[in-house]
Amino acid sequence: MAPWSTEATPGSLLRVEHSSGVVLTQAARKALPLGVLWGCIFGVFISSSAISYVSIYKTLAERTHLVTAFGSDNATSALFGPGSLLGTVGGFTVFKSFMALIILGAIWGLLTATRLLRGEEDAGRWELMLTGQTTSRGATAQALGGLACGVGVLWAVTAALTVATGRYPEVNIAPVPACYFALAAVASAAMFVAVGALTSQLAATRRQAAAYAGWFLGVCYALRMIADAGVGLHWLVWVPPLGWIEELRPLTNPQPLTLLPIIGFIAVLIVSALHLAGRRDLGAATLSDRDQRPSALRLLFGQVGLSIRLLGPTFIGWVCALAITGTALGLIAKSAGASISGSSARTVFSRLGATGIHARAFLGVSFLIVAVLVAFAAAGLIGAARSEEAEGRLDHLLVRPIARLSWLAGRVVIAVAVLVSAAVMAGAATWFGTASQGAAVSFATLIEAGVNVVPPALCLFGVGVLAIGIWPKAASWVVYAVLGWSLLIEIAGAATNTSHWLADTSLSHQLAAAPAVNPNWTAGAAMIGIGFVCTAIGAATFRMRDIRGA
């Protein structure tokens, strides 16, 4: 009998009595390969940044030009973090890779934590374990132990590759600073593992837990961006946890004492998560779930209405998140855009497709952030559709006179509505922010910029539907892998010359940087067409295959 089996057999309960460490073992088995994989991604990204610097910026004049372009530019600081000591290999490596690794680490942490905590609990894999000596609090502690192993391996692999790169003669980064840089790079992963652990106790489902953690990440990034935008609010960098990581300043001006609030934050969240885990019933939620409220039959007129009800909180959450992000971008657009006109930073903005100066150029690059958020919404909708099948809820619909294609078509229509509405809201909120600061960008232009970010998200959603049809168990990982790759390639190409063949593999690279330039509706139509074809193939294969659980 497998350790996770929920089927009781003679002697199985006896084995459970002596398997108090099985949750730790299983969590570690799932977290360790992910730690190795993402450690390799982190290490390669850091190595490529360092090596590209010594390969491209060979002369003192070229390095001086780099410092002039980015050293004190508010626009690039808001997007990529402050550029310190850009005349050195370490300073450039941090500037190019650090913020991207912080965000990716946070996403990895919250998704992995909610999967191995709330996800395993929702799937019923803890029920048999808790009939033995293991308590709910003990199981949570063991799962956190397995997650800690994953974070540890993530750091070890990242550090090993960074140290190896530092031994390259022209890079010349000592082992201790290299290990400190790796620690700073994975600190967000550790922090958001703790955030995911807490939201797993608060939420009723894994999807809700991930959404709560994602909300927190979005607010943290927005506050950090405002703090670095040169609008006189740099003290805000000490408010969000992402700002604390930035203040570690690896390879430039190390501040290891900043690890103390990070460690304290993680400790408080873990203690809180363990406390809540011991107080609630298995499968229950600390925050009120809709199942505990009075019955409401609105929209329950069919499977489409049911889908709208189920995805309603997700829709509201993404619309609000994008409204907050758009408002934050609009508030700093005028100030940050002013720095572009007087610096050589136009180079990096032009490489991202945002030609010109002032607020339009800044917003052209900033809407890449909006595009990433809308793409994350698309990935979340794929995860929600897959979870309906994996957790057995789809079975209850399909035993009724509801065709598979009808259910999937309803999900596709709802997803398109969610993505378009959220993107339009982002454009409207950005206009509100720019109008309050007197930036001359019209409402119609920013609504158009919002619609412009929808095609990559629809393409990604189509890839997810294709994965649901062909490889359902990996559907979520496929869409997040495509999204992560697109983000890495786009950020990597911002400060260096990237092969156009490699750049073309990024969905973000196909996106015109509106409102700095006019939207490329031809490229947008092509991405929508690819998404449509993938959706059609995924629907055909979904119709023919068996329904598969987790």
Q: Is the pLDDT of residue 20 over 60?
A: no
Residue 275 above 50 pLDDT?
A: yes
pLDDT score, position 59 = 78
Q: How confident is the model at residue 70 (pLDDT cuts 50, 70, 90)?
A: low
Q: Which residue has the tokens 């460490």?
A: 21
Q: Whole-angstrom Cα distance, residue 370 to residue 345?
A: 21
On the 0-12 / 13-18 / 19+ scale of CB atoms within 10 A, 548 is exposed
Asked whether the predicted pLDDT for residue 212 surpasses 90, the reply is: no
Between 23 and 494, where is the model more confident? 23
- Does position 319 have pLDDT exceeding 70, yes or no? yes
Taking the C-alpha atoms of residue 361 and residue 366, their distance in angstroms, rounded to an integer, is 9
Residue-level pLDDT at 17: 44
Amino acid at 476: S
pTM (global) more than 0.95:
no
Per-residue pLDDT of 72-89, as tens digits, reads 556 667 666 777 777 788
pLDDT digits (tens, 9 = 90+) for 348-361: 555 555 455 567 77
pLDDT tens for each residue of 498-517: 556 666 777 877 788 788 78
pLDDT value at 294 more than 60? no
Q: Which of 56, 53, 27 is nearest to 129 (CA)?
A: 27
Residue reference for tokens 């309960």: 13
- The percent of residues in the chain predicted with pLDDT above 90, rounded, is 26
Give the pLDDT of residue 4. Answer: 43
Amino acid at 258: T
pLDDT at 72: 59
Identify which of 451, 461, 467 has the alpha carbon closest to the alpha carbon of residue 511: 451
pLDDT of residue 14: 39
Q: What's residue 79's pLDDT?
A: 66
Q: How far is it, in rounded angstroms, from Cα 540 to Cα 218?
A: 36
Count how many Cα atoms sit within 13 Å of the Cα of residue 243 in the half-sphere of its side chain: 19
Determine the residue type at 103: I
Going from the C-alpha of 311 to that of each of 86, 208, 288, the distances in angstroms are 45, 10, 17
The pLDDT assigned to 12 comes to: 42
Most confident range (mean pLDDT) of 143-157, 161-175, 282-296, 393-407 is: 143-157
Q: Which amino acid is located at 304 in the chain?
A: V
Q: What is the pLDDT of residue 11?
A: 44
Question: What dihedral do alpha carbons 496, 502, 507, 510 form, nearest 10°?
Answer: 70
CA distance 390 to 548: 6
- pLDDT at residue 179 in the model: 95
Q: What are phi and psi of 148, to 5 degrees?
A: -60, -35
Stretch 31-43: mean pLDDT, rounded?
89
Structure tokens at 208: 């809700």
SS3 10: coil
The radius of gyration computed from the CA coordinates of the chain, to the nearest angstrom, equals 24
Band (pLDDT 50/70/90 cuts) for residue 2 is very low
pLDDT at 233 over 80: no
- Residue 538's identity, in one-letter code, is G
Helices (H), 391-403: 393-398
Q: Tens of pLDDT along 452-492?
A: 999 999 999 999 999 999 988 888 888 888 887 777 676 65
CA distances from 141 to 17, 24, 147, 276, 373 (A): 17, 8, 10, 12, 32
pLDDT tens sequence across 154-204: 999 999 999 999 998 888 899 999 999 999 999 999 999 999 999 999 988
Where would I find the beta strands (DSSP E) of 157-289? none
Whole-angstrom distance, CA of residue 374 vs CA of residue 318: 8
Distance CA 476, CA 456 (A): 17
Interval 222-247 mean pLDDT: 82
Which position has the higher pLDDT, 54 or 118?
A: 118
**Burial (Cβ within 10 Å: 0-12, 13-18, ≥19) of residue 262:** buried
Average pLDDT, the chain: 80
Of 215, 154, 230, the C-alpha closest to 185 is: 154
Mean of pLDDT values over 513-532: 89
Which residue matches tokens 């049911």? 306
pLDDT of residue 161: 93
Buried b (16+ CB within 10 A) or exposed e, 370-391: bbbbbbbbbbbbbbbbbbbbbb
